[in-house]
Amino acid sequence: MDFSFSGLKTAVLNHLHNLSQKGEAYDINDISASFQQAVVDVLVKNTVNAAVKMEVNKITLAGGVASNRCLRKQMKEHAKAKGIEVLYPSPVLCTDNAAMVACAAYYGFIKGTFCDLRLNAVPGLRLGEK
């Protein structure tokens, strides 16, 4: 059930670069819409297939991607066809992790909490820990 988007953005960038090198015109709106649809197709297919395989009756969308209207609509349609409910918060509550980290950093800044340039990433670190 593992899947990855590695290579998808690179493929689009290479395609645009090749078109530019050849002097060919392209519609960035069309390419953007095609990219979005490709991502939604993969997310919907793999998520619904995983839910069926794991015999669950609910799918939850969360994070920044959960505010995408196309993803919401297609996930609901495909999941409903398999008897699966899709749950997600209102778009205003679908924040990206980067926004949450920035908010936490802001309050740390206000308190005067700083780290030097030797700081390293610790994925399991809890909010407020160093």
What does DSSP assign to residue 63?
Answer: S
Q: Is the pLDDT of residue 82 over 80?
A: yes
User: In this predicted structure, what is the pLDDT of residue 26?
Assistant: 94
pTM (two decimals): 0.70
Q: Residue 116: left if φ>0, alpha if ψ -120 to 50, beta else—which one?
A: beta
CATH, range 8-95? 3.30.420.40
In this structure, of 16-20, 22-26, 34-38, 122-126, the range with the lowest mean pLDDT score is: 122-126
What does DSSP assign to residue 128?
Answer: T
State percent of the chain over pLDDT 90: 61
Beta bridge partners of 86: 59
